[in-house]
Each structure stands twice: as C-alpha cells, then as structure tokens.
Structure 1
C-alpha cells in the first residue's frame, strides 16, 4: 500500500498518478475502477480533482503486474482429456478466451485463468498472461489445446511448433509430428458454388493464400489450409473438415469466407447467427515427450 499526500495546484487524480509512477493513465483507470485508489479514505473516481492536503492511498501496484491479478479470473471448469507430468490436453469451450488480451480482461473466463486456479506456476513463452499456452483458439472456437505444465513440456512442444512454422515446403511441414484438424459448419454465399465446382473431385484441396485478418495493425501472411472432406447437411449447410499447416490469425475463417463459404455464426467474416461460430478444433496428433505418437479426437 502506498500512502501519499497531495500538495500544489489542483490536478486530476489519474493524471497526477501517472506523474508519480511509471505507468499509463489507462493502467490507473483500471485500478481506480476496481476501488484500488482511496481519496481521503473513500474510493476515488478517475475524474476526481485533488487539492492540497488530500490523502491518497494506493493498492499494491505489483498485484496488477504479476500473476496474482489472475485471482480475479472467474473460476471455471474445462475438460481435461489427457494429463501427464509435462502437459495437458484440454477441450476449450466456446465463449472462453485462450488468454486475456491484457490485464484489463482478467475478469473474463479464460484458459489461463482456469490454469492459474488449478496449477498456479506454469511456464510461459511470454508473460504470465499466457502461462502454459503453446497456441491459442479464438474465443468462439471450441476444441483441443495443448498446455505445457513444465519447462520440459514447454520446450518439447515449442520445438515442434517452431519446426512446423519454419519448414519451407508443404511436404516438410507434413513430416513434422504435430498436426491439427478442424471442422466447420459453413453457409454457401456468392462465389461458394463456383468454388465447390472448382474443387469437386480434387480433395484434399490446398488453399495456399495470404491471410488478411480483420484485426488492428494486421500484416498479411501466407496461410496454408487443406480441405479434406465436405459433407452436405440436411439444412443445406456444409460440414467441412480441414487440416492447417500454418497458424495465422483467423486463417480458416478468412480462407473459407474468401471462397464463398463463411463459417456459420462468424460475425466478422460472414454474418451473425443465433448461435456461436461453428468452428471446432476436433483432432490433434503429436509426438509426446516419450517419442510416442498420440492422436486425440472429440
């Protein structure tokens, strides 16, 4: 707890705090909204004006810069399909973030929050906000994820992901013992029937095209998606089974939409529906730490 007394010309508390500590105004807005700053013994509003003699009490700032903040993550349950001493395979539900986008989002249900409550100190490639994660799924994509429990597990799978990413040819990528399959329920929009005729009798069909994700500051990158099977559903929609050889942001969503087959419920690349986006990571195949090939499906 920091205890300070204000002296000088009247100043907004949020602006004054940024001059006292090396953090942004938005960082302090987050703390103020949670009642972490008291002005004369009462929770302060971010617009409060300070006057000489005011007493300011500030919550432990380190709490917002360390894994302890994940205590605020909702306590949720996520099915664990396989657990070893070094890794987990989980089945992430729809509506659950892989990780908070920032410390401001820790109040939303997330895989990282689930892991923190159940396992605490997991290794991380980056900051604690991604502890245990080796890859991610979009919020409304459900399905299988690999989670590292130990540094040994992290390094093993990190090596596989890196080898997959850095392999230059499709043949080389296919030889890496790490594969991910998805199934998507798709609508047929303008251009979709033409594309279906183009690939008829040619499955598996490779889409090797740039992905231009609808996210801030996106940089187009080559994505490789393989359509393996297409089934017609009674309601006229298609169920498409795919394997990915690259892991670009929104890769499957972008590739299918750009060929007239937007995923049902995808508000960003198709249209909104009464149900969440129908995309599932349904199968994983990988070499585990003992050299055994594992295949897990849902």
Structure 2
C-alpha cells in the first residue's frame, strides 16, 4: 500500500450494477478484497458522498466511490533484534534462509524469539501493512527444526501474489520447492510419488497422520534418490523431495508412510531408533549432534508478484546436516 490515505473514483459507463467490494478490488488491486471489506464495514467508504457499511451493496456507472485508508497499525508481536540470513530483499518481499530451531510465527509457548519478531525489527517501516497491520505476510512455513528458504511478503499486493502461487502449488505457474532429506533405508523405486491425504492424528493431536481421502487434505510429494549411504552396504539415503502440495509435516509423514522416515525425526521415525546401531561410532555421533530431523529447504523458485520475473534461490546444506552426510559417506 502506498502513502495515500484517501482515494476517489467515478465509475465509467457500462459498469454495474455490481457488488461494491468487487468493484473496489478491481480499482485498488494493492489492497486485498478482505481488507477492502473490512474498510467498508469500518465506515471508511462512501458512495456518492453517503457512507455505506455493506460490502455486497450494488453500485453502477456514474457512482463516485471514496475510500479512506488509515495508516497501518503497529504489529502486536514486538520486533526483536535477531540475526537473519537474507538471501534476497526488495520493497515487496524478503527471502530468508532460516536456521533450524527458529520458530516462524508466534504461538502458545513461542510468544517471542520467532522469525516474525525478527522480521518486524529488520523490515521496520518497509512493512506497509498486511490487512492493515504492519506485519510480515507469511505465505508458507517451515517446521521449527527444519532449515532453509522462506519467502515473506512486505505488503498486500505481494502477499496476494505470493499466496496465489503457493495455493496453486506450481500446477499452472513456475513455483518450485525442493528439499534435501536424509532418510532411513533405500527406496526400492529410486523415483516416485507419494499421494496420501493428511490430517491430525486421532490418537495424538500433535502428530499428522495418513488418513482416508475423505477425511484428510490432498497431499502429494515427489521424491528422487540421490545417493545411498554409506556406499556398499547402505542403511540410509540422501533424497530430493519436491512438494506438489504444502501440508504440515508433509515430507516427514510421507517418507515415514513409505517406510523411510527421516534421520533424527523422533516424532515420525521413533520406530527406527535401532537402525542407528548399524552406524559406525563417528556416524552415530554425527546423528546425535544433529538433534533434529534431517530436512532442509534447499531450493525455492517463484514469480515476483510485481515484476513477473522468475526468481530462484538455492541454499547449501547447513553444517549439522552436511556433517552427518559426510559421516555417512564414510
């Protein structure tokens, strides 16, 4: 959103009758339709000089629409000076290489010290308001203990454009999301697709489970074997996983579902603890040092929501996963 606080437009001939919020969304595309609806209900819109509170009210040619956009309010989470590894930044978005251990969004038990807190402090006034609040626009997330690339919007226009790409999951656009993972065992098929619906487990609400299609959310993961580990008598594999959908814990659950859970994943790979006994002393030490699931968001590509340029970023394996990989190679 720009610095303008008041906007006016007179509708041309041949328009309407049409919903007010739909017309305004075409006129001022830098504001989301939900944001415009909220402004209408807050009394910030007049039609022919008369305040209107109904987003669904009809307007026709000749109507004069006036909109007041209040300054964005400060974000509720406090900004915190937390170091960030920035892969790219401009006026619309920022790409972060997130370390393992950093929570993305404040929640119960993690009210501070999150990526959102860090972004509020780093971006400052360049956050021009997502839904009227000066906050970063989170369009996708990584688990706390998953490292790698994330893109975050700075304004409503960028948020809408990025959110649409992630909702489409790259089916009709250029979105690319690839992960590197160390998993137990070697898949019989070196390339494959896991298509299995996901939902909260009925037995443990903190876990995600594969469920019948009618009870869960559609989820697809494509995988490719890169390297069996160690050479000769492998007990693990380096895999590349590409998301066609982006569900909570998707790669972790899908890999466990086909019998190849991630190394270090105590939630979905607890049944494979004895596998570690087949590792050498140095390999076991590297796995213990890892202390998390061996998953890294290594590639992120998307279309810039303003310029249309395709941007692609790659992140090398962080030291803990790279150390385990080298140990497994022997």
Structure 1 length as normaliser, TM-score? 0.64
Tell me if structure 2 keeps the 8 A contact 1:125–1:131: no
Structural mapping, 1:63-212, within 5 Å: 67-71=75-79, 73=80, 75-102=81-108, 105-107=110-112, 109-120=113-124, 122=127, 123-124=129-130, 131-164=136-169, 173-188=170-185, 196-197=187-188, 199-200=189-190, 203=191, 205-212=192-199
Check 1:106–1:127 CA distance in 2 against 1; reply closer, same or farther (3 A cut).
Answer: farther
- Partner residue, 1:264: 263
Tell me the secondary structure at the aligned position of residue 105 of structure 1: coil
Aligned residues: 211
Tell me the secondary structure at the aligned position of residue 174 of structure 1: coil
Structural mapping, 1:29-40, within 5 Å: none
- Partner residue, 1:240: 239
Alignment partners' CA distance in 1, 2:103 and 2:132: 17
State which of 182, 205, 216 in structure 2 corresponds to 1:220. Answer: 216
- Partner residue, 2:248: 249
Tell me the secondary structure at the aligned position of residue 118 of structure 1: helix
Check 1:175–1:70 CA distance in 2 against 1; reply closer, same or farther (3 A cut).
Answer: same
Tell me if structure 2 keeps the 8 A contact 1:182–1:279: yes
Alignment partners' CA distance in 2, 1:140 and 1:258: 20
Question: Structure 1 residue 229: deviation in Å?
Answer: 3.3
Alignment partners' CA distance in 2, 1:283 and 1:186: 18
Tell me the secondary structure at the aligned position of residue 252 of structure 2: helix
Tell me if structure 1 keeps the 8 A contact 2:131–2:156: no
Alignment partners' CA distance in 2, 1:119 and 1:251: 30
Deviations 1:225-247 (A, max 9, x none): 00133311227321110110101
State which of 274, 277, 281 in structure 1 corresponds to 2:297. Answer: 281
Question: Structure 1 residue 106: deviation in Å?
Answer: 1.8
Check 1:70–1:211 CA distance in 2 against 1; reply closer, same or farther (3 A cut).
Answer: same
- Partner residue, 2:30: none
Q: For structure 2, list consecutive stretches of 5 or more residues without a partner in the other structure.
A: 1-73, 209-214, 274-286, 316-330
List, as ranges, runs of 4+ consecutive aligned residues in structure 1 with deviation greater than 4 Å: 125-128
Question: Structure 1 residue 151: deviation in Å?
Answer: 1.8
Question: Structure 1 residue 212: deviation in Å?
Answer: 3.7
Tell me if structure 2 keeps the 8 A contact 1:287–1:293: yes
CA RMSD of aligned residues (A): 2.7
Deviations 1:273-295 (A, max 9, x none): 62221100100111113121121
- Partner residue, 2:312: 295
Deviations 1:3-46 (A, max 9, x none): xxxxxxxxxxxxxxxxxxxxxxxxxxxxxxxxxxxxxxxxxxxx
